[in-house]
Amino acid sequence: MKRRDALRNLALITGGLVLVPSCDFSKKDILAAYDKLKVSSDMKQLLAEIADTIIPSGETKGASDLEVQDFILVMVNDCMDEDAQKSFTKGFKSFENYTINKTGNKFGQLEPSQQEEVVLSGLQEEDEDYIDLRGFLGTTKRFTIQGFLLSEYMQTEVKPYSLIPGDYQGEVLISSLKSEKING
Amino acid sequence: MANLNINAKQDRTYQAIVIGSGISGSWAAKELCEHGVKTLVLERGKDVKHIKDYPTTNMLPYEFEHRGQITEEVRKENPVVSRCYAFREDAQHFFVKDQEHPYVQEKPFDWIRGYQVGGKSLLWARQVQRWSDFDFEGPARDGFAVDWPIRYKELAPWYSHVEKFAGVSGNLDGLPQLPDGEFLPGYPLNVVEKHFQAQMKKHYGDSRHMILARCAHINGNFDYYAQQGRAKCQSRNLCQRGCPFGGYFSANSSTLPWAEKTGNLTLRPDSVVHSIIYDEEKGKATGVRVIDRLSKEMEEFYADVIFVNAAALNTNLILLNSTSNRFPNGLGNDNGLLGKYVAFHNYRAGVSADYEGHLEYTTQGGRPTSGYFPRFRNVFKQETDFLRGYAAGFSANRGPYADQSGIGMELKENILNPDKWGPWRIGSHMMGETIPKESGYVALDSNLKDEWGIPQLRVNVDYDDNDEKMIKDYLEQMTEMFDKAGFTNIRTRDDHRAPGLDIHEMGGVRMGKDPKTSLLNADNQLHAVPNVYVTDGASMTSTATQNPSLTYMAFAARAAHHAMKNM
């Protein structure tokens, strides 16, 4: 809080900080992503389940609590080139069959531990036949981690982000750093 | 001209006109206004008011839809500006998009531009190292370009003048090749940077140095900067968004509001300068033709003195486009050299490494600068098979990371509690002097025009053999120094980037002693049209290795005082 007070005092000196309205995660873009990537509501549900398998809910919220599935689709739609998008979609569409082949069940019917096994095995596939599947899961994992860590919930409630990092110290003993463990 | 405003000519007449509101133009304007000169500053882009027009400055990472990343659509439409390290979701609105302002690349050239009040001073890397006589005497000693018409001692007081006002943090290093200045307290080097510094001393004696880079950030003398409405740099490292504290120097936070306070400044955004008006009877420039960015209507403005500070290549463009019977090939261009001898800084190569020492330490907090290698090649005498040399950036970084190999609760707990410590990561990049050549030029295209009917610029600038040799030497020398310092896993790179991405393009309207071989005199006046001053990158006779903005500021302040003496 001391830092925040300092910030406020400085704001007075500099003539007042302007509060900027946050750039809302636009619903239109989310819908556009579903549309362009041809994601049905079943697939959206599936993506949420995969994201939850990667980062489950526990003492702190999990991926789908933060609607990370929407973030994944917006990033794939807006920030990946067409070839990568095609590969992502292809891998996505093959995932349910892959699960059934592995376990005899649909992903949503599996126990969490079985879901983890399927996702882990997909991430580790080396066979050329599964190149899109592996890519899809890798991309999903990457954006799940990013969407989780850079979510409003994480950056305000769990590990508050500071716009002011403090003065530089170039010789800090790691053993002197105190950190309380955050439980998942 | 058509479309003249109904305002009386008198209302469009000032004592001075400054073309460009960026780092050098704002300095000319500040000096002129402060001394009572009614000054019109013309800016081709939109207005950007300090704080008010920094829409992203306090945004948190989650407030950026793509968490900082540029979208594929924007990247595809803007391949040139997308290569710039600072063109990210948080600052993209301050950069010129490729399609909006096309130019012709006779050879690949990444022209990075910021068209708004303040120009690129909002976006710059804020590194401010002085030149020395080893730089000003370079062309004469080594036989390239032409001799600079001035020496360090003539610029030194003006370096002091601009450093004090802008705010420069640094250490007094006592190096003849990188003179000390008016410094606010420096930022700390970290434990590994200090180790490297000591290793350089041990292995190279006094011939090679690694120092703290001097940067235009406020780190002391706070009451003085409070007069400008500026405060201590908070080390946010979000400078490219515009700083609400005014912690770093920008035209928007410092020189322009200072000029405005005098009541002598008229700032006119959205004013695209077409050309400078030359009056043949009077034998001098009398004003400028301006096209309104939005309405596209042309207006004229008049003044006794005109400063051209449109940023290096656009200053060339305006002068080339300022034709008259007296100057059919561009204003002041009697010798045909206008637009020629354009050069840049060679940023192609870098070296990175790991360091397995001091593993019990890390760093905390933020710092707006890093380490710096002043040039050590060919400084006191010629010693290699290439001319000139290079400076280099240097930094060591360390922080915890998380094991992200698994999934599920194990992954979640890992990323919530990053606790892995790798080695220190060491990085360096070269900043090489390039030799201005007649074959490195900009010119007007005879057909293609921009949206405002102004000819498009053709750019023809390239690396040469000297640059290739210098890259090789930098990679060898830095590898050797890293090795001697005990660094491991040393990796070299040459990214073969096009010129321009350094954003240090210079020349085309060079200074010199002789009107036959240069465009500007020792006071930055066009030899043939002395009431026109050029004090931005276009005026540079050679490029040295230092980040050039500080030198443009010093030239602009010095030239403004010269102009006032003759008013």
List, for residues B337-379, the tens digit of each pLDDT value.
999 999 999 999 999 999 999 999 999 999 999 999 999 999 9
Q: Quick check: A63 and A147 in contact, CB under 8 A?
A: yes
Count the residues in chain B: 567
CB–CB of A23 and B65 under 8 A?
Answer: yes
Instruction: Answer whether residue B321 shows pLDDT above 50.
Output: yes
CB–CB of A151 and B58 under 8 A?
Answer: no
User: Across the interface, which of B71, B234, B415 has its CB nearest the CB of A149?
Assistant: B415
Residue B233 domain-assigned (yes or no): no
Three-state helix/strand/coil letters over B254-312:
HHHHHHHHCCCEEEECCEEEEEEEEECCCCEEEEEEEEECCCCCEEEEEEEEEEECCCH
Distance CA A53, CA A150 (A): 18
Q: With contacts defined as CB-CB under 8 Å, which chain A residues touch B69?
A: 75, 79
Q: With contacts defined as CB-CB under 8 Å, which chain B residues touch A148?
A: 412, 415
Instruction: Answer whether residue B433 shows pLDDT above 50.
Output: yes
Q: With contacts defined as CB-CB under 8 Å, which chain B residues touch A68?
A: none
Distance CA A101, CA A95 (A): 10
Instruction: State the nearest Cα–Cα gap between A40 and chain B, in angstroms.
Output: 22
According to DSSP, residue B2 is labeled: T
Are B140 and B190 part of one and the same domain?
Answer: no
Are B334 and B396 part of one and the same domain?
Answer: no
Range B332-338 contact pairs with CB under 8 angstroms and sequence separation of 24 or more: B332/B509, B332/B519, B332/B526, B332/B527, B332/B528, B332/B529, B332/B532, B333/B519, B334/B515, B334/B527, B334/B528, B335/B515, B335/B516, B335/B517, B335/B518, B335/B519, B337/B438, B337/B510, B337/B517, B337/B518, B337/B519, B338/B508, B338/B509, B338/B519
Distance CA B387, CA B389 (A): 7
Q: With contacts defined as CB-CB under 8 Å, which chain B residues touch A25?
A: 65
CB–CB of A168 and B363 under 8 A?
Answer: yes
Q: With contacts defined as CB-CB under 8 Å, which chain B residues touch A158?
A: 416
CB–CB of A14 and B244 under 8 A?
Answer: yes
Q: Quick check: B282 and B445 in contact, CB under 8 A?
A: no
A177 touches chain B (CB under 8 A): yes
Concatenating the DSSP letter of every residue in B453-479 gives: SPEEEEEE----HHHHHHHHHHHHHHH
Q: State the average pLDDT for chain B.
A: 97
- Report the alpha-carbon angle B241-B247-B252, nearest 5: 60
Instruction: Answer whether residue A10 shows pLDDT above 90.
Output: no
| Number of domain units in chain B | 2
List Cβ neighbours of B230 (8 Å cut-off, separation of 6 or more): A14, B167, B218, B245, B246, B247, B253, B254
**pLDDT number for residue A17:** 42
Q: Quick check: B344 and B502 in contact, CB under 8 A?
A: yes
- Whole-number CA gyration radius for chain A: 21
CB–CB of B362 and A141 under 8 A?
Answer: no
Report the percent of chain A where pLDDT is more than 90.
Answer: 72
**pLDDT number for residue A35:** 79
User: Across the interface, which of B58, B66, B193 has its CB nearest the CB of A79?
Assistant: B66
Nearest CA in chain B to A165: B365
Are B510 and B551 part of one and the same domain?
Answer: yes
Q: What is the CATH number of the domain that holds B17?
A: 3.50.50.60
**Least confident segment among A25-29, B199-203, B302-306:** A25-29
Residue B457 domain-assigned (yes or no): yes
Instruction: Answer whether residue A6 shows pLDDT above 80.
Output: no
Touching A: B residues 245-274, CB under 8 Å:
245-246
A184 touches chain B (CB under 8 A): yes
Distance CA A26, CA A82 (A): 22
For residue B149, the enclosing domain spans 1-169+248-344+435-461+504-567
A7 — pLDDT class (breaks 50, 70, 90): very low
**pLDDT number for residue A42:** 87
Q: Quick check: A73 and A94 in contact, CB under 8 A?
A: no
Q: Quick check: A52 and A64 in contact, CB under 8 A?
A: yes
Tell which phi-psi region holds residue B130, choosing left (phi > 0), alpha (psi between -120 and 50) or beta: beta
| φ and ψ of B16, to 5 deg | -145, 145
Of B452, B479, B498, which residue constitutes the final position of a domain? B498
Are B55 and B86 part of one and the same domain?
Answer: yes
Q: Could you give the angle at which helices A82-103 and A41-54 cross, rounded to 10 degrees? A: 80
Of B473, B498, B523, which residue constitutes the final position of a domain? B498
Are B267 and B201 part of one and the same domain?
Answer: no
Touching A: B residues 409-448, CB under 8 Å:
409, 411-413, 415-417, 421
List Cβ neighbours of A9 (8 Å cut-off, separation of 6 or more): none
Residue B425 domain-assigned (yes or no): yes
Instruction: Answer whether residue B269 shows pLDDT above 80.
Output: yes
Cβ neighbours, 10 Å, residue B536: 33
**pLDDT number for residue A40:** 86
**pLDDT number for residue A26:** 58
Question: What are the CA-CA distances from residue B371 to residues A89, B193, B215 (Å)?
Answer: 46, 7, 11
Are B551 and B536 part of one and the same domain?
Answer: yes
Question: What are the CA-CA distances from residue B555 to residues B150, B433, B478, B538 (Å)?
Answer: 11, 20, 33, 12
Secondary structure class of B321 (helix, strand, coil) = coil
- Give the global pTM: 0.94
A138 — pLDDT class (breaks 50, 70, 90): very high
CB–CB of B365 and A166 under 8 A?
Answer: yes
CB–CB of A171 and B361 under 8 A?
Answer: yes
- Report the alpha-carbon angle A58-A61-A65, nearest 5: 125
CB–CB of B364 and A166 under 8 A?
Answer: yes
**pLDDT number for residue B4:** 53
Are B288 and B402 part of one and the same domain?
Answer: no
A91 touches chain B (CB under 8 A): no
Instruction: Answer whether residue A24 shows pLDDT above 70.
Output: no
A152 touches chain B (CB under 8 A): yes
Q: With contacts defined as CB-CB under 8 Å, which chain A residues touch B54?
A: 18
CB–CB of A172 and B58 under 8 A?
Answer: no
Distance CA B414, CA A161 (A): 18
CB–CB of B236 and A58 under 8 A?
Answer: no
A11 touches chain B (CB under 8 A): yes
**pLDDT number for residue A30:** 73
Amino acid identity at A176: S
**pLDDT number for residue A12:** 40
Q: Quick check: B214 and B227 in contact, CB under 8 A?
A: no
Instruction: Answer whether residue B414 shows pLDDT above 80.
Output: yes
- Report the alpha-carbon angle B326-B329-B335, nearest 5: 90
Are B15 and B143 part of one and the same domain?
Answer: yes
CB–CB of B416 and A60 under 8 A?
Answer: yes
Instruction: Answer whether residue A14 shows pLDDT above 50.
Output: no
- Give me the residue label for tokens 């200072």: B258
Cβ neighbours, 10 Å, residue B459: 26
Are B286 and B164 part of one and the same domain?
Answer: yes
Residue B396 domain-assigned (yes or no): yes
Judged on CB neighbours under 10 Å (0-12, 13-18, 19+), A171 is middle
Per-residue pLDDT averaged across B164-176, rounded? Answer: 98
**pLDDT number for residue B6:** 55
Per-residue pLDDT averaged across B132-149, rounded? Answer: 98
User: Across the interface, which of B56, B72, B245 has its CB nearest the CB of A10?
Assistant: B245
Of B471, B498, B525, which residue constitutes the final position of a domain? B498
DSSP 3-state helix, strand, coil percentages of chain B (rounded to 5)?
25, 25, 50
Q: Which site among A12, A23, A139 would you substitute to test the B interface, given the most B Cβ atoms closer than 10 Å to its Cβ?
A: A23
For B58-108, how does the pLDDT look when each residue is reduced to its tens digit (9 = 90+)? 999 999 999 999 999 999 999 999 999 999 999 999 999 999 999 999 999
Domain borders along chain A are 26-163
B389 versus A14: which is more confidently predicted? Answer: B389
Q: With contacts defined as CB-CB under 8 Å, which chain B residues touch A10?
A: 231-232, 234, 245
Per-residue pLDDT averaged across B449-458, rounded? Answer: 98
Distance CA A165, CA A163 (A): 6
Are B255 and B395 part of one and the same domain?
Answer: no
CB–CB of A174 and B360 under 8 A?
Answer: yes
Q: Quick check: B45 and B272 in contact, CB under 8 A?
A: no
Residue B191 domain-assigned (yes or no): yes
Q: With contacts defined as CB-CB under 8 Å, which chain B residues touch A175?
A: 360
**pLDDT number for residue B186:** 98
Residue B239 domain-assigned (yes or no): no
- Report the alpha-carbon angle B291-B297-B301, nearest 5: 55
Question: What are the CA-CA distances from residue A152 to residues A22, B59, B66, B67, B400 (Å)?
Answer: 11, 12, 13, 11, 22
**pLDDT number for residue B7:** 63
Are B24 and B102 part of one and the same domain?
Answer: yes
Are B410 and B479 part of one and the same domain?
Answer: yes
Residue B225 domain-assigned (yes or no): no
Instruction: Answer whether residue B41 shows pLDDT above 70.
Output: yes
Concatenating the DSSP letter of every residue in A40-80 gives: -HHHHHHHHHHHHHHS--SSS--TGGGTHHHHHHHHHHHHS
**pLDDT number for residue B151:** 98
Distance CA A145, CA A62 (A): 11
Per-residue pLDDT averaged across A57-61, rounded? Answer: 97
